[in-house]
Structure 1
Amino acid sequence: MARRRKRKPVPTETIEVTIESLSHEGRGVARHEGKTLFVDNALPGETVTMRYSAVHGKFDEGFAVAILEPSPSRQVPPCQHYEICGGCSLQHMASSAQIAFKQDILKEHFAHFGKLEPEQWLPPMQAATEGYRSKARLGVRYVTKKESCLVGFREKRSNFLAEIESCAVLVPRVSELIMPLRAMIGAMDAKQSTPQIELAASDQELAFIVRHMEPLSDRDKATWIAFAEEHNIHLYLQPKGPDTVHKIAPEDDRERLFYQLPDFAVTLGFHPLDFTQVNTSINRQMVSRAIELLDPQPHERVLDLFCGLGNFTIPLATRSEHVIGVEGVQTMVDRGYENAKLNNLSGVDFYQADLQKDFSDKDWAKEGFDKILIDPPRSGALDVVQYLPKFGAQKVVYVSCNPATLARDAGVLKEHGYRLTLAGVMDMFPHTAHVESIAVFER
């Protein structure tokens, strides 16, 4: 039986270090006695007093307890809970510096993984940096010693929930409910068996999915329903896996929320558990820019891969008469057809396919496509870009949530004769190190 490696003791003294750069996680990088340090709450060029939080073989971790020489990019965090809450990592950095940091990450990945650089950089997409987050999973924990219920996100680099009263990045109508939720759940019979609340906000509505490990008492269920009615919430319960999610309020048979894409005069419906972008404003900009860059013509055949519920497919169908959306999950294919019907669009079809396999021999794919849009998960689209040239598309727009896999896939497209003509970042997740980007390939 292997012995468990003992954790190295964490030094109690503080040290003074100068921050050289930022890691891709947004942590300050410094050197001390030949060892690399990753320092939270520190910016390049700053001299800080650091306290250790963890010691490892090749690197150590810590956090800045005092800023001795601040960076011009430092700002006062907009959230009162930023020091403890792990929901955000860059609130101490000005928005302009956050954008530059994300652009540098994208450039670095293109150079390192794809050995290329775009012919032209697109201006970054930006919007409000507070009150933007419309989807989240809130942890819930009742602390017996304090006789208090916590609702929110984990503490920085910890599994414990942070004690917060509000959240600067959640949409305001959700942030305002944190304290009422804490009080209500803390008085429930199920206060110890309610681990999380998943939320989804649309343009006008709000849905909660409440995970509960034990059956709710009639009193608790009535309390939740009253709360939902008071705050105009679509309330769902989840006793076990995702397939057990069911709506209990209001008493209607409507299972969908809706959001709009005004530039295309379309409305899309979604279930609270469906994947949708967390930032409504950036999503609208992203869809508009992606379709502007793809520039579909009425007579052209357009393919949307990893199409989900039709976030790009439906607006594309207002520009082209021949649009096909492909998704790996049949539920999303069904949702796509629902949204096409909702918007009275007839020139669009949705198909389910395993996107890790070549589907060029499918009847609906044999004619090829003039233009293609790809919006894959974090793992990227390595299998797709291997057979993409078979479709004959002269232009590909790639929307990415992971710059490393985008750069890797860009290298493959380059080998197939595509040029990386345009690329840029989108600030989908302000105050975090998450990099969302868009790229255009042409041949």
Structure 2
Amino acid sequence: MTREPDWYASGRRHVWLPYTQMQTARPPLPVASASGMRLILADGRELVDGISSWWATVHGYRHPHIEAAVQRQLQTLPHVMLGGLAHEQAYILAERLANLLPGDLDHVFFSDSGSVAVEVAMKMAAQFWLNRGQRRVKFLCFRGGYHGDTFATMSVCDPDEGMHSLFKGALLEQVVVDLPRDAADEIALGELINRHRGELAGIIVEPLVQGAGGMVFHDPFTLQALRRLADAHDLLLIFDEIFVGLGRLGDALFACQIAGVQPDIVTLSKALTGGTLPLAATIASARIYEGFLSDDPLHALMHGPTYMGNAMGCAAANASLDLFESEPRLEQSRAIGKQLERLLAPARTLPGVRDVRVRGAIGVIQFDSPAPADRLSAACIERGVWLRPFRDILYTTPPLIAGEEDIAHIASAMVEAVIEWSQNPQA
């Protein structure tokens, strides 16, 4: 048996892990280093990372262009507060994001995590109405949705099926409905919105894919319907693109572009820095921004994370955007999707499998009941692939740099793990 590293053996009892029942969970795998698609474990094993460290490392680990940009920034200005001061990387990044996003999504508020970016979006929307003398502080959100783990973001996640159901009743009251998928749904949702007239500040949705809710897909029609409803009832529309934004779906950088819909507010994180450093952005339209302009200081957006617009994070993000411009990430995402469609298809006929679906660089095997997560994960690790199943799915969201051999490796591990489980589900 390989000896545990000293840092792991001595520190393990002090670290509280995310989404983990610490009494029963398998010990985490100690990682010594990472490069490209691969995690190198302390015992020398290598694993192909099939989920991009929670969907973030789209360019792989340690891309030299991002590393060099961060190193340069570290040597000149690692961080400076944005309150009353400015630095080059944040201002360049804000302009680039404004130019990449559609329409007049021109005003960028930086923060340091996706949950905070969504909190800022909700705060913007609510205060937009407060500044106009209207107390509209509730949101229309959707079953299967997930927007973060802080209290306000938990309140717009699925209250029954999501990971935050334990807090039901303790969160901010919202209006939770099913996503509209046809004209009849759109009409019914409009009637419901009308019943909550004067209460709702806006609508918040994960565009095209509900990620942590189970990798559930919907069509552009859904987002177009939400835009129509928001306009008809004078609501603000928020797209949480923290998962799907920046190339994951293949057809465009952002889901809003794929759907042909401009929201009022967009949130980004994860792939923004290529998974290198924590950074998030909440981008608002001109209408929203102008709603905060006033001689009254209380009409300002009173929010300011200490590390907002961190210079090294912004340098990493600018380097990440360079790679989207210079390397064929969208083409790679589409190629990954085509290969996953072909290689995951055999799982459709396996016992216990409910569905197999692919969208862009997202591949999903869904089961009839909750997945045996630890067992499936262990089976994939034995085959040299790092995946982390949850709920009723085994899924992959590989780095967009993944080549054909990497995708073949990931897909075969997934299918073989499911075959092994389906042949002996009680083991």
TM-score range, shorter chain: under 0.3
TM-score by length of 1: 0.26
Give the helix-richer structure, 1 or 2.
2
Q: Which has the higher contact order (CA 8 A, sep 6+)?
A: 2
Give the strand-richer structure, 1 or 2.
1
TM-score by length of 2: 0.27
